Chain A
Amino acid sequence: MNEDRRSFIKKAGIGILAGIGSAAGLFPALSLEKTVFPAWDEKPEPGKHRWGMLIDTRKCSGNCRECVAACHFTHNVPDFGNRKDEVKWIWKSAYEKVFPTASNQFQSPEVTERPYVALCNHCAEPPCTKACPTEATFRRWDGIVSMDYHRCIGCRFCMAACPYGSRSFNWRDPREGIKLASTEYPTRMQGVVEKCNFCSERLVKGLDPACVEACPEQALVFGDLNDPSSEIRKLLESSETMQRKPELGTKPSVFYII
C-alpha cells in the first residue's frame, strides 16, 4: 500500500517537472500582435500625402486570387462561405458590376469579360464618412478612409452611403469564420462594419499594401498622388485611366487602366 503511494508520488513529480519544462516554451513573452514601430516620430502634416492605387487590369489574370487571399489573411477577414454573411475588403467582380455607369459602348469582349479587382476607393469626397453618426469612419490626414471599430455602433448608414459596396457588416462573430488567423492584426466583433484600410498598419512600417505585394503580375501600383514624381503619378499621366462611377463626384483614389 505504502509502496504504491510512493511510486505514485514519484510519477506525479516527474509529470509536473515535464509540464513546467514544456510550458516555459509554450508561453513566450512575444506572442501577440507585434508592436509596430512607426517610421516617423511626429504628428503627420494633414493633406501632405494622398495615398492612391492604380490597377493595370491588362496584367490582371482571370483566375488569380492572390491579392484577395493575402489581404484577407493579413486582416483576419472571415469567410463563412455564403453571400449573406460575406465580409470582403478586396474582391474580383465583372466589368458591368465594377463599372455599371461606364458609357463606353461596343468594347471588345475580351475587355468586358475580364474580371476586375474592386476595393474601397478611399474617395477624396467620401459619402460614407458624412453618413456616419458617430464619426467611427473618417478621412485621415493621408487620404485613407479609415474605421475606428471601437466607435462603430453597427447602424450601417455608411454601407447605404457607399456607392461601391466596399463595406461589409459582421452579422456573425467573425472569429468563427477565420480558418487561419494572423496574430499581426486584430479581428473585428459582431455588429460592426469593416472595410479596406489601404493597409495603414503596413504603411506605418514602410511597407506596401499586402495586395500590391502579393500580386504576381505587379498589376497594382501604390503611391502618393500628391507627389508629382511618384510612379503612380507618372503612370496616371502616361496612360488612359478610368475611375468607378466618376459622375458621383466622390473623387476616388483608385484608378484603372482598361
Chain B
Amino acid sequence: MTKKIIMTATALLIVALAGIYAFRHQEIMAEKVIEPAPAATVDSSACIASKEFMKANHMRVLNEWRHSSVREGNRVWVAPDGRKIEKSLNTCLNCHSSNRMFCFNCHMYANVKPNCWNCHISPMEAP
C-alpha cells in the first residue's frame, strides 16, 4: 500500500516538474520575440489561403513572393480577403513548425526534394 502511494507521489512530482519546466521554457522563448516595427499592419495569424489552393500552388506562391520581395522590395502580400501578409517562409512556419511533419510528409510521399533546408532552418531541426 505504502509502495503504491510512494509510486503515485513520485509520478505526480515528475509530471509537475516537467510541466513547470515546459511552462518556463515557453515563457523564455516568448520573451525573445522581436517587437514588430510600428507601421506594421501585417496579419500572419491565420492561413493565407485554403488548404486545397496551398497544396497545389505553395511553390508558385513562394517563388512569386521571393521575386517580388527580394527584387522589388515589396514585402507585403494582400490576400483576396484584404488581409496583409508578410511575404516570408516564416509566415507559414511560425504556426506550422509546431507540426514537425509539415512539408516533409507530402514531399516524402511525392519524392520531391526541395533544397529549402540547406539554408533555412527546417521545422525538423528547430531549436
Contact = CB atoms under 8 A, between A and B. Distances in A.
B37 A28 contact: no
Interface string B34-46: 1011111110100
Contact of B42 (A18, A37, A142, A205): A37
A34 to B, nearest CB: 5
B81 to A, nearest CB: 17
A39 B120 contact: no
Given A38-B75, A141-B73, A30 B29 contact: yes
11 contacts: A21-B19, A22-B21, A23-B22, A26-B25, A34-B34, A34-B94, A35-B90, A37-B37, A39-B40, A41-B76, A189-B115
Given A17-B14, A40-B39, A30 B33 contact: yes
A25 interface: yes
Interface of B: 7, 10-11, 14-15, 17-19, 21-26, 29-30, 33-34, 36-42, 44, 66, 70-76, 84, 86, 88-91, 93-95, 97-98, 100, 115, 118-121, 123, 126-127
B120 A186 contact: yes
A30 B41 CA distance: 19
B119 A30 contact: no
A148 B65 CA distance: 13
A17 B11 contact: yes
A30 B94 CA distance: 6
Contacts of A39: 37-40
Interface string A51-67: 00000000000000000
Given A38-B76, A187-B119, A31 B127 contact: yes
Nearest to B92: A35
A47 B71 CA distance: 13
A42 B41 CA distance: 12
A205 B11 contact: no
A28 B28 CA distance: 10
B69 to A, nearest CB: 9
A38 B72 contact: no
Contacts of A20: 18
B7 A10 contact: yes
A178 to B, nearest CB: 12
Given A25-B25, A38-B75, A42-B74, A186 B121 contact: yes
Contact of B88 (A36, A150, A189): A36
A31 B19 contact: no
A204 B41 CA distance: 14
B37 A32 contact: no
7 closest pairs, A vs B, by CB? Answer: A21-B18, A25-B22, A25-B25, A37-B40, A37-B36, A189-B118, A39-B37
A24 B42 CA distance: 28
Nearest to B42: A37
